[in-house]
């Protein structure tokens, strides 16, 4: 697949995915209504979104740190811990979807495509979380 | 319409374009049996009473034109509603929420149109989403036109 066509396919995939997963993000927000905004502020979500640009590993580390911090704080922060754990689950789901989609395309640099796409999808998902949490 | 370039059947492409044109006309003119929800004119009039300004409306139209994702448009409106802490802009009389509901409700009309044309089953599964996106863009353009016109009249009165 040539670069131009690949780029276009990635954009369309991401736009379609973003629209199809808006509801999923809204449900996520509704399920954690008592935590955001509150114990977790909207600015923290913006912080997570900024971290996505540094790659999936750092993002994972960032959220794992948040989970550890919440665990240390005891039962009062259990809902915060659950929020971040569930967010990690969403990211695992996104990782799997990316791999499945990239399987369908022919390109030598599949690993890079998977990595870039994961970052963009996670960033979109967090964009949805921010907007709905704000709302 | 560029968004429908992927529709293989030229007949279906024409039908989709006609559907979008017909519905978009009702955004501007109102009052047909196709269009029974919120009216672009009413929403524009109420937005004009709030602190929302031309730049914000133009910005929203630009976002709609520049993105291929309906979620980007809805997210933008949600963030604006959320940031309106004083409730005198996007949040006044729940105007942002009503606009959001109107844009979302257009999907039901698209699904109904698709249902009536079974040949769409052989087409790209993304067609309904793209028609919906085009309708959102057109609705916002009509809303912006009404809004600017109302604001202009107000400005002329105040001069």
How many C-beta atoms lie closer than 10 Å to residue A49's C-beta?
18
Give B 31-50 residues with CB within 8 A of chain A: none
pLDDT band at B8 (very low <50, low <70, confident <90, very high): confident
A–B CB contacts, 8 A cutoff, strictly below: 44
Calculate what percentage of chain B has a pLDDT beyond 70. 94
Tell me the CB-side half-sphere exposure of residue B138, using CA atoms within 13 A: 21
Which residue's structure tokens are 């968004």?
A: B3
Tell me the CB-side half-sphere exposure of residue A133, using CA atoms within 13 A: 26
Distance, CA of B145 to CA of A62 (rounded, Å): 45
The answer to whether the beta carbons of residues B46 and B92 sit under 8 Å apart is yes
Of A15, A22, A131, the CB nearest to B79: A131
Q: What do you get for the CA distance between the two ends of chain B, in Å?
A: 41
Q: Could you report the per-residue pLDDT of A9-56, keeping only the tens digit for each?
A: 899 999 999 999 999 999 999 999 999 989 999 999 999 999 998 888
Q: List residues of A whose CB lies inside 8 A of any B CB.
A: 11-12, 14-16, 18-19, 21-22, 124, 127-128, 130-135
Contact B67 A131 (CB under 8 A): no
Give chain B positions within 8 Å (CB) of A14: 69
Distance, CA of B73 to CA of B69 (rounded, Å): 7
**pLDDT, position B28:** 82
Distance, CA of B112 to CA of B101 (rounded, Å): 17
The answer to whether the beta carbons of residues A133 and A37 sit under 8 Å apart is yes
pLDDT band at B122 (very low <50, low <70, confident <90, very high): confident
**pLDDT, position A53:** 86
Instruction: Give pTM, 2 decimals.
Output: 0.91
Q: Could you report the per-residue pLDDT of B41-92, keeping only the tens digit for each?
A: 889 999 999 999 999 999 999 999 999 999 999 999 999 998 888 888 899 8
**pLDDT, position B39:** 82
User: Where do the DSSP E strands lie in B52-152?
Assistant: none
Contact B79 A134 (CB under 8 A): yes
ipTM: 0.90
Q: Tokens for B143, please give them.
A: 């809303």
Contact A19 B71 (CB under 8 A): yes
Mean pLDDT of A105-131: 90
Whether residue B31 has pLDDT greater than 60? no
> What radius of gyration, in Å, describes the C-alpha atoms of chain B?
17
**pLDDT, position A79:** 95
Burial of A70 (0-12, 13-18, 19+ CB in 10 A): buried
**pLDDT, position B93:** 85
Distance, CA of A108 to CA of A119 (rounded, Å): 19
Of B75, B78, B126, the CB nearest to A16: B126
């Amino acid at each position: 697949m040539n670069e131009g066509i690949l780029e276009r396919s990635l954009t369309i995939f991401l736009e379609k995915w973003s629209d199809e997963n808006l509801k999923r993000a809204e449900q996520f927000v509704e399920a954690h209504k008592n935590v955001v905004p509150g114990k977790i502020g909207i600015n923290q979500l913006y912080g997570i979104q900024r971290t996505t640009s540094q790659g999936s590993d750092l993002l994972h580390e960032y959220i794992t740190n948040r989970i550890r911090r919440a665990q240390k704080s005891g039962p009062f922060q259990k809902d915060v811990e659950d929020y971040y754990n569930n967010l990690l689950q969403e990211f695992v789901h996104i990782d799997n979807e990316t791999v499945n989609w990239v399987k369908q395309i022919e390109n030598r640099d599949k690993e890079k495509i998977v990595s870039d796409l994961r970052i963009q999808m996670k960033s979109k998902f967090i964009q949805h979380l921010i907007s709905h949490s704000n709302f | 319409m560029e968004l429908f370039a992927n529709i293989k059947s030229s007949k279906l492409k024409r039908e989709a374009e006609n559907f979008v044109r017909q519905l978009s006309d009702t955004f501007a003119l109102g009052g047909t049996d196709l269009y029974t929800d919120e009216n672009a004119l009413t929403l524009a009039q109420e937005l004009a009473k709030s602190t929302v300004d031309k730049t914000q409306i133009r910005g929203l139209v630009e976002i709609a034109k520049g993105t291929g994702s309906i979620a980007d448009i809805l997210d933008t409106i949600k963030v604006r509603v959320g940031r309106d802490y004083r409730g005198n802009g996007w949040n006044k009389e729940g105007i942002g929420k009503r606009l959001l509901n109107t844009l979302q409700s257009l999907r039901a009309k698209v699904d109904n149109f698709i249902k009536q044309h079974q040949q769409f089953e052989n087409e790209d599964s993304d067609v309904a989403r793209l028609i919906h996106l085009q309708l959102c863009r057109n609705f916002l353009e009509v809303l912006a036109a009404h809004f600017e016109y109302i604001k202009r009249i107000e400005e002329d009165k105040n001069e």
